[in-house]
Structure 1
Amino acid sequence: MSDVTTDEFAPRPKLLTPAMLQALCRRSTSQGALRALAHYGAIIVVGTLIGLIVSADGVAWALPLVLVQGVLVAFLFMAVHETAHKTAFDGRTLNVVVGTISGFLIGLPYEYYCLFHWEHHRHTQDPERDPELIVGPKPRSETQLAIAYSGLVQVAGRLRLLLKHAVTGEVTVPWVPAGRRATIVREARCYVAGYTVLLLGLLVLHSALLLWVWVLPLLLGQFVLRPYLYAEHVGCDHTKSAFHNTRTTFTTRVVHWLAWNMPYHVEHHAYPAVPFHALPKLHEIVDGEIKHRGQGYVAVTRQTRAWFRQQWEGTKADL
């Protein structure tokens, strides 16, 4: 995805010259390393504290930290996303290594996600071709909507697909070309082997440490990650323009840090080769072109929930 610098259907802000875009697209290993080390460092610190508290039989006291750890671990999705674009670091190797490790920790095979996400960028908001719309749950009731916002359906779905690829050796999804299917199968088998080794190790050691610092936090973190991800496109236009089919959400510095600046999502979709650290500068230039502008994730979540309700109510009316 690194060779795609613009959205061919997006209007071109007059202030953004080719020279400026070239400068914005400059990658920085130091910026990527700083963000990745900070993110992983926070996970290690919080995980260590959880381990110490749990080992001292203070499970109840550990629960608030488990929630914090959940957000940190779940948002490793953003590291997978940035490295999938090969823009986190100036060089392919670091992007692949960090992306693969992060993908393993959240149960999302890296090479598979690269292909999935490239198709998403090519066909954003196209109901028949955008894989996010094809595989995502389509809630038809309040209960289904609540389950969708938990993110657990998505996690279960990608783990089920991972096992299918590993066990059957078959890859049938349309966004994986025939020439890459063997790679996806091999990757799935490596992931499953890694999870199996960890599980056996825990059984041999009679330890629940990874349950407290990784598995449970990952599941709990989906309750925050999924509403965040829905804010990116839900309720936006079904058009080919990134300035109309995507939403930028204005939020706090903490969220920008956690999400690797992806709240600037219109900017990212319009110019996907611009690294995360340059998105604030890009936003200053293209701000006037953005149609969907969220004022915080609480407000946007209300909007996306209302949009989902309108969809199923409209379906009932058609029947």
Structure 2
Amino acid sequence: MDEVFGRRDMISPARLKVLSVKSDARGFMQVGGHLGALMVTGVALALTWGTWWAVPAFVAHGILINFLYAGQHELSHWTVFRTKKINEVFGRLFGFVLIYPRDFDQIQHFAHHRFTQDWDNDGELGRPRYTLSSYLLWVFGPTYWYTRVRRIIRFSLGIVSEHYIPDDRKPQVIREARWHLAGYVAIAAISLATGSWLAVQLWLLPMLALKPVHQLQNTIEHLGLPHVDAITQNTRSTRTNAVMRWLCWNMQYHTAHHAFPGVPCYTLPTLHQEIFVEKDRKPPSMTYLGFQWAVVKAFWNGRTEADYPDDRIWISDDTDLEPVAPRPAAAA
């Protein structure tokens, strides 16, 4: 996606063109680093299974698997590699591992970029407004995995109800889901035939158990921000450390990414520096744990997402962006 959603005065076209250059070499470094780390944790987990040493290996392995979505996200944008086909190959591989087919994810995510925070058209806002319980179920994974598995089965049956999927793309996502389902059935059949638990030990179990860590990134990017057509207001960046930025392929610079999604992940720090820091601008930003605590407080005592206005910020730790109070309770 090479569309521009940020204001034209944020960066010059010439400079944006430089920062948007893709590189196969840098792409292989990015992908290779993540897959290499996964190989290390996978071997460590296999060798230590059944001992206490398996616990840290299990945690690290599960986190690395889940954050493959950071890679899938970038690969869907065609920005990791200069060679377009390589983006597709790795994107499909990551999507299979994550039970999140690439073509569907790409269609949904592009609708999210084009209509960010638009309740009717944002591909990632097709959900009821959060309550505390529904939010926690999403963060810890039960409803997340339910929707992923159910969608693949539904698509495999030829049922595509998402309004943001064009009619001419529906056969594509149906075919993709059927290939995924066939692959998962084949893995299950081979595992049963051989009596092997490797797929569970090294893939499914750590991926499902460590999903909450990845949800820290998934939930912080837009929740509690105005549903308005302004990237610098409706998208949140994350204040964190270098390890997390590596793990998440620099998606913590999320406001910069939404403004100029054609910029590769490996030049996002530079883009953020030039459009925000050097110009003394500040996008909405929070820490992971600070955000989660603020969400829990916002939904405490029976309050829901519907209790807050759509056009104003209501989750923030920035005194310059003071969150609004919930709407008064309706009179009995």
* Residue matched to 1:286: 275
What is the alpha-carbon distance in structure 1 between the residues aligned to residue 258 and residue 181 of structure 2? 32
Aligned to 2:7: 11
> Is 1:79 equivalent to 2:79 in the alignment?
no
Q: How does 1:6-155 map to 2 (within 5 A)?
A: 6-7=4-5, 10-14=6-10, 16-54=11-49, 57-58=50-51, 60-135=52-127, 138-141=129-132, 143-155=133-145
In 1, are the aligned partners of 2:129 and 2:304 still within 8 Å (CA)?
no
The answer (yes or no) to whether the contact 2:255–2:283 under 8 Å persists in 1 is no
Q: Is the 8 A contact 2:121 2:164 kept in 1?
A: no
Gaps of 5+ in 2: 308-326
1:231-270 aligned within 5 A: 231-270=220-259
- Counterpart Cα distance in 2 of 1:127 and 1:316: 23
Query: What does residue 172 of structure 1 align with?
Result: 161
8 A contact 1:232–1:246 mirrored in 2? yes
1:311, distance to aligned residue in structure 2 (A): 3.0
Percent identity reads 31
CA distance change for structure 1 residues 173 and 313 in 2, over 3 Å: closer, same or farther? closer
- 1:169: how far off? 1.5
- TM-superposed deviation, 1:61: 3.2
How many angstroms does 1:235 deviate by?
1.1
Is residue 231–residue 304 contact of structure 1 (8 Å, CA) maintained in 2?
no
Query: Compared with structure 1, are the counterparts of its residues 91 and 306 closer, same or farther at alpha carbon in structure 2 (3 Å cutoff)?
Result: farther
Structure 2 residue matching 1:317: 3-state secondary structure: coil
Q: Residue 297 in 1 paired to residue 288 in 2?
A: yes
Matched, 1:317 2:326: no
RMSD, aligned CA: 1.8
Residue 29 of structure 1: how far off its partner (Å): 1.1
Cα 1:290–1:239, aligned 2, differ >3 Å: closer, same or farther?
A: farther
How far does the alpha carbon of each residue in 1:75-119 deviate from its partner, in whole angstroms, 9 at most, with x for none? 111111001100011021001000000010010000110000000
Question: 1:235 & 1:158 partners in 2: Cα distance?
Answer: 24
Query: In the alignment, does 2:306 pair up with 1:306?
Result: no
Q: 1:224-268: CA deviations, max 9, x gaps?
A: 111221111111121111111000112111011000000000000
**Whole-Å Cα distance in 2 between the matches of residues 203 and 163 of structure 1?**
21
CA distance in 1, matches of 2:162, 2:306: 30
Corresponding residue for residue 181 of structure 1: 170
CA distance in 2, matches of 1:238, 1:192: 36
Q: Does 1:214 align with 2:203?
A: yes
Amino acid at match of 1:210: A
> Residue 230 and residue 96 in structure 1: after superposition, are their counterparts in 2 closer, same or farther (change >3 A)?
same
Larger deviation: 232-241 or 297-306?
297-306
Q: CA deviation at 1:274?
A: 0.5
Mapped partners of 1:183, 1:29: distance in 2: 27
Structure 1 residues 102 and 316: alpha-carbon distance in aligned structure 2, compared to 1, 3 A threshold: farther
Question: 2: CA distance between counterparts of 1:67 and 1:218?
Answer: 9
Cα shift at 1:281: 0.7
Instruction: Tell me the secondary structure at the aligned position of residue 249 of structure 2.
Output: coil
Structure 1: which 5+ runs fail to align? none
Secondary structure of 2:21's counterpart equals coil
Q: Displacement, 1:300?
A: 2.1
Does 275-284 or 170-179 show the bigger shift?
A: 170-179
Which structure shows the bigger proportion of residues in helix conformation?
Answer: 1
Secondary structure, in 3 states, of the residue corresponding to 2:53?
helix
More contact order relative to length (CA 8 Å, sep ≥ 6): 1
Is 254-263 or 214-223 further displaced after alignment?
A: 214-223
Q: What code does the residue aligned with 1:127 have?
A: W
Question: Which residue identity is paired with 1:70?
Answer: G
State the AA in 2 paired with 1:163.
Answer: I
